[in-house]
Amino acid sequence: MCHKHGVMHRDLKPDNFVFQNNETAFLKVVDFGLSVFFKPGERFNEIVGSPYYMAPEVLKRNYGPEVDIWSAGVILYILLFGVPPFSVDTEQGVAQAIIHSVLEFKRDPWPKVSDAAKDLVKNMLNPDPKRRLTAKEVLERALRVIAEHLSVEEVAGIKEGFQVMDTSNRGKINKQG
């Protein structure tokens, strides 16, 4: 949603995700202190963010919104594996780790992680920002994985619910109906 509205967070990390409240448990992104508005193709050069989650191009002082995808990929890696992909705590250390590291998916729990999840992590942590997934592509892949694991009954229920909300029969819904 941020990228769609031209906002680059630049400091995505687990600390900046909170649940809105206990009843609805909506997950929210917070701490937009380092965020900036961007236009397509615009490049930035400030070194900002947290070293564990910083994309390699930030250190090269030439980046755009794809840095948020890198950070989200690091978070996903940690959620699946339990440790960061690059275990360092300085900007220079991150750069060296990224340059000399290859993501390794052989140790536990990786053999139990689906190929789709591994592929998503690899494509979010692609050191080449031009080949890294966009926010839209990450969302599409995530929705596809979720859809692939739904039962026939769950799909039918979702389709029925959508049709109830699609009062104009356009195949699209918005807040107005």
Q: Which residues are within 8 A (CB) of 8 and not within 5 positions of it... i.e. 6 or more apart?
A: 2, 35, 36, 37, 38, 44, 64, 65, 67, 68
- Shared domain for 120 and 146, answered yes or no, is no
- Shared domain for 21 and 49, answered yes or no, is yes
- Shared domain for 26 and 58, answered yes or no, is yes
- Shared domain for 118 and 145, answered yes or no, is no
Q: What is the pLDDT along the chain (177 residues), one digit of tens a residue?
A: 889 999 999 999 989 888 877 666 788 888 998 989 999 999 999 999 888 888 888 888 999 999 999 999 999 988 888 877 776 655 565 666 565 556 767 777 777 888 888 889 889 998 889 999 999 999 988 888 777 777 888 888 888 888 888 788 877 777 654
The predicted pLDDT at position 88 comes to 60
The answer to whether the pTM exceeds 0.85 is no
Work out the number of other CB atoms within 10 angstroms of the CB of residue 105: 16
Range of the domain at 145: 135-177
* Domain stops at, among 115, 133, 151: 133
Helix residue ranges per DSSP H, 13-134 = 56-59, 66-81, 91-100, 115-124
- Shared domain for 128 and 139, answered yes or no, is no
- Shared domain for 33 and 65, answered yes or no, is yes
Q: What is the dihedral of CA 122, 126, 131, 133, to 10 degrees?
A: 60
- Shared domain for 33 and 72, answered yes or no, is yes
The predicted pLDDT at position 109 comes to 75
Please report, for the domain that includes residue 80, its CATH number. Answer: 1.10.510.10
Task: Please tell me the distance from the alpha carbon of residue 61 to that of residue 41, in angstroms, as a whole number.
Answer: 15
Verify whether residue 11 is a known catalytic residue: yes
Catalytic residue among 11, 31, 119, 166: 11
Counted domains in the chain: 2
- Shared domain for 45 and 12, answered yes or no, is yes
